């Protein structure tokens, strides 16, 4: 099973796929509750970050939030992908779609390797979709090979 980037698997023989990446700016803020929610999205062009995550809301609710007078927030800035950055989002334009198709054709001919997941399929998945996809791949191979 290969879950890495499909162009990397084939040594970028047709060129590199483009991605968008994210730069995280973390801050310790001296307030118990910064934004009242785990994630707040910012879609205004004038604001340079796309969302702020306040991590404690994932695990704490109600009064417990206020037991600690500090909080950690992360601002997320959308950036161009570069080789040292994490590949976050595929770029679904004609160039990248055609390039991915060439790699996908090669992957279909590869024996004994299952290509799966957001990087090998060059596709954005939410967590629930990726779990459904992983189970479908497992089921298909179990029924094929036992």
Ligand X SMILES: Cc1cc2nc3c(=O)[nH]c(=O)nc-3n(C[C@H](O)[C@H](O)[C@H](O)COP(=O)(O)OP(=O)(O)OC[C@H]3O[C@@H](n4cnc5c(N)ncnc54)[C@H](O)[C@@H]3O)c2cc1C
Q: How far out from the chain centre does Cα 73 lie? A: 19
42 binds ligand X (CB under 6 A): no
Give the separation between CA 98 and CA 70, rounded to whole angstroms: 48
CB of 76 to ligand X, least distance (A): 7
Name the residue nearer to ligand X (CB basis): 23 or 31: 23
- The CA dihedral of 123, 113, 127, 85, to the nearest 10 degrees, is -60
Name the residue nearer to ligand X (CB basis): 33 or 78: 78
Among 57, 75, 125, 137, binds ligand X (CB under 6 A): 125
4 binds ligand X (CB under 6 A): yes
Give the separation between CA 125 and CA 131, rounded to whole angstroms: 9
**Residues 136, 141, 145, CA angle at the centre, nearest 5°?**
155
CB of 30 to ligand X, least distance (A): 27
Q: Applying CB under 6 A, which residues contact ligand X? A: 3-5, 8, 22, 88, 117-119, 125-127, 130
């Amino acid at each position: 099973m290969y879950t890495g980037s499909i162009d990397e698997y084939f040594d970028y023989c047709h060129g590199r796929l483009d991605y968008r990446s994210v730069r995280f700016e973390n801050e310790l803020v001296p307030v118990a509750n910064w934004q009242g929610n785990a994630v707040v999205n910012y879609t205004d062009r004038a604001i340079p970050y796309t969302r702020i995550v306040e991590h404690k809301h994932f695990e704490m609710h109600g009064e417990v939030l206020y037991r600690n007078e500090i909080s950690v927030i992360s601002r997320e800035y959308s950036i161009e992908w570069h080789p040292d950055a994490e590949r976050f989002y595929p770029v679904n334009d004609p160039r990248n779609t055609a390039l991915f198709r060439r790699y996908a054709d090669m992957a279909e001919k590869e024996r004994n390797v299952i290509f799966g997941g957001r990087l090998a399929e060059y596709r954005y998945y939410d967590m629930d979709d990726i779990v459904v996809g992983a189970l479908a791949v497992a089921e298909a191979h179990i029924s094929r090979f036992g």
